[in-house]
Structure 1
Amino acid sequence: MVKVEGFVADGYEAVREVVQELVDDGRETGAGVSVWRDGREVVRLSAGWADAGRSRPWQPGTLVQPYSLSKAFVTLAALVVVRDGALALDEPIAASWPAYGVNGKEGTTLRQVLTHQAGQPRFPAEAGGLDLLDDAGLRESLVRAAPEYVPGTSLGEHALTYGHLVDGILRAGAGTTLGEAFNEVVRPALELDAWFGVPDDALDRVADLEYADPNWPNLLHAAPWLRIPDGALDVERVNSRAWRQSVFGAVNLHTSASAMARFFAELTDEQGPVAALLGPGLHADLLAPQITDFDEVFGTRITWTLGFVRDHGKIAKGGIGGSAAWWSRKHRHGCAYLTRRLDDHSRAAQVAAALGDDLTVVGED
């Protein structure tokens, strides 16, 4: 039996019980769980192992890739550039990136990109022969491609393209990159243990991803949006040093559960660090419902803010594989369940239920 390490404050014992049950049943082999409330961490649990060989126990500082949870931090990188006046949310991207404004993308705005309405939820077929880490080639494929629908008329999470679109916009409009905006501005301002491009001295803290089922990549509803370029779901590739030290903004932030739970606990605070970073206007825009519609990639009706999913119970973001983090609007706590065992979201949902939260995606705010 593998004991779940860490602590829970009085009243949170059910969370430990759920996580221990997940480990005992073999549904979890490596995860971190954290809950923050009223400025302090009330749950910090480490479950299982950080590596496939099961030689490194999961630690509170273990970093792991949570897939699409990364997108929330791409949004923040874009918004600090908007804050500084180099870009605007509702001006055509083509005003600063003329090459992008072709084939039906002439009027596409940054707001449409950030709310997954830009019509480029996947890389085009012509990108199929590109390497996963060919940033310039992948950006150029998006420049040349026509959108799958008229921007602003439909909705589908930009599964792998989100970071490359924002990176291209920042390069053209602000003379910076996604990695620079996040790592040099957002990360230090929010004191986040989170990285696009893990530094050398933190590589030994990164957990290895593994499949719960060898056929997992083919079982995903979102699989058709994740196949180009090849490799984003290949654990051998995403466990490599080259991948961990690259910037693939849609999916490869590496972070800890404590960092994510604290971030979400502070997210809505009008006097908190996110509000201080963005200013009151952009902070309100970040959290406000922007679009409610059927999201083809999610396969359900949802409400997007600029970077988050929102409903009457939570403001949240998760990623394929099972990681999720959220702010509970009902109980006013920030929570994170980050896992290295790629499976569904039932484990995070059980942890949420132990806290009185519901991770079901509800379409209306």
Structure 2
Amino acid sequence: MHARFAAVRDCFHDLLAAGRETGAGLAIWYDGRPVIDLVAGCRSASAPDPGAAGGSRPVAGTASAAWRPDTLVNVYSVGKPVVALCLLMLVDRGRVDLDAPVAAYWPGFRTPATVRQVLNHTAGLPAFPVIRPAEAVADWALLCADLAAADPEWEPGSVAGEHAWTYGHLVGELVRRVDGRSVGRFLAEEIAGPWRLDLGFGLGAADQRRCADLSYGDPDWPVRMLGEPGSLRARALDNPPGGRDLTVLNSPLWRGAEIPAVNLHATASALARLYAGLLAGGTLDGVRLFSPDLVAEATRVQYDGPDLVLDRPAHWTLGMGWEPDGSWGMGGIGGSSAWADPGRGYTFAYATARLAEHDRVDELVEALHSCL
């Protein structure tokens, strides 16, 4: 770690020492190179406290439970830009037109939305339209058929509402229809492999064994995240049910399914590398995956206005949130987050298993900015 960023390291370890964090990874690139790459704590919620020193010394007999550099964790909506990049790669290659209707690639798709509107959360399909049981999270064909037959909840393009769960199926099915591969396989072969990113959708048995178990920062977290009963947010987050239930989230069913809007499993190192490649205009370690023009289009604001699901103003790019300081990326419910800050020249990724608020990230960023 570069000595300049000692305050960030100290802040990270303080989160564990204070019990506000149980296991996490933090990675930062600055000026085109990695300057922070830390892991600490436990990847099993039932494991003993690894100690106030930040978890670098596993407790005797619990080495297998220590958070390691290759520990994967579910980062929720941090995966939305990742699935978007799969479709944007096909746009870059001339195989998909951003302003063509979805139905041009997905015959029978009823909603008159364009590919661009799907990518910027204005397609009008923020919730799965048919009530399904928890097991349906693993039934890709069923959920995509539900979306194809649905009527939009508003005129596409007129307003945004974060497509909390549906985003990954809408974007991922477009990838599958055009390319033939599932979005998980496409990601592995076209992006994660070439850029050496340890992340994925639909994990196999070996990768599932590397996963951290999610846990609640407080028992009210699942209810608080849902919002008002019957609200658009609640409908968007709670069908199929189980997306905030630890027995589902930590199961082979969830980890093995492709639910690209909410179940990317990743390391912080991989996420920071990904954004470093985008910040450099689509090239990482000499491997170009995206053109600079595509990156510029993908990261500019495409929608600026109210978001009906978030119930606040939002700035959406093609797959990412944009902030007034010019940064672009995505946070996930539970506290994980990843983004690039072009103005300050860094990329940041925090991947946590403790489902709580984003105050941990806020404090780490404050420490980072003090170093800059």
TM-score, with length taken from structure 1: 0.89
Kept in 2, the 8 Å contact 1:87–1:174? The answer is no
Tell me the distance in 1 between the aligned counterparts of 2:113 and 2:67: 43
Contact conserved, 1:62 with 1:205, CA < 8 A, in 2? Answer: yes
Structure 2 counterpart of 1:10: 3
Q: Given the alignment, which residue of 110, 114, 122 partners 1:117?
A: 122
Are 1:260 and 2:260 counterparts? no
What CA distance in whole angstroms lies between the structure 2 residues aligned with 1:296 and 1:344?
21
Q: 1 CA distance for matches of 2:290 and 2:10?
A: 38
Confirm or deny: 8 A CA contact 1:231 1:238 kept in the other structure.
yes
Task: Choose the corresponding residue for 1:190, options 174, 190, 195.
Answer: 195
- What is the deviation of 1:129? 7.5
CA offsets, 1:317-339, max 9 Å, x none? 11000001121233211111110
**Number of the residue aligned with 1:5:** none
Quote how far apart the aligned CAs of 1:316 are.
2.0
**What per-residue deviation string (whole Å, max 9, x for no partner) do you get for residues 75-113 of structure 1?**
11111222333321110111222210x2xx1x3111100
Aligned to 1:149: 154
Pairing 1:80–2:73 present: no
Cα offset for 1:239? 0.8
| Contact 1:292 1:301 (8 Å CA) reproduced | yes
1:178-221 superposed Cα distances (whole Å, 9 cap, x missing partner)? 12221221212222111112233322221110111222111014
Alpha-carbon separation, structure 2, partners of 1:129 and 1:330:
42
- Distance 1:64-1:129 versus aligned 2 partners, 3 A rule: closer
Q: Residue 246 of structure 1 aligns with which residue?
A: 257
Q: C-alpha distance in 1, partners of 2:342/2:172?
A: 31
**SS of the counterpart of 2:3?**
coil
1:21 corresponds to which of 14, 17, 35: 14
Counterpart for residue 35 of structure 1? 28
1:307 offset after TM fit, Å? 1.1
For residues 208-219 of structure 1, the aligned pairs below 5 Å read: 208-219=213-224
CA shift digits 1:244-281 (9 cap, x unpaired): 12211111111101111122223221362399212233
More moved, 209-218 vs 192-201: 192-201
Q: 1:31, 1:339 within 8 Å by CA — same for their partners in 2?
A: yes
Query: In structure 2, what is the equivalent of residue 309 of structure 1?
Result: 321
Identity %: 39
- Give the SS at the match of 2:222: helix
Q: CA RMSD in A?
A: 2.0
1:289 matched residue in structure 2: 301
Compared CA separation, residues 285 and 320, structure 1 to 2 (3 A)? same
Matched residue SS, 2:121: coil
Q: 1:130, 1:137 within 8 Å by CA — same for their partners in 2?
A: no
Aligned residues of 1:127 and 1:228 also touching (Cα < 8 A): yes
- 2:131 aligned with 1:131: no
Does the alignment pair 1:278 with 2:287?
no
Partner of 2:344: 331
Superposition map of 1:157-172 within 5 A: 157-172=162-177
Q: How far 1:39 sits from its partner (Å)?
A: 3.5
Secondary structure, aligned partner of 2:66:
coil
Equivalent residue number for residue 101 of structure 2 = 92
**Are 1:178 and 2:178 matched, yes or no?**
no
The answer to whether the 8 A contact 2:282-2:295 is kept is no
- Residue 130 of structure 1 contacts residue 138 of structure 1 at CA under 8 Å; is this kept in 2? no
- Residue 237 of structure 2 is matched in structure 1 by 226
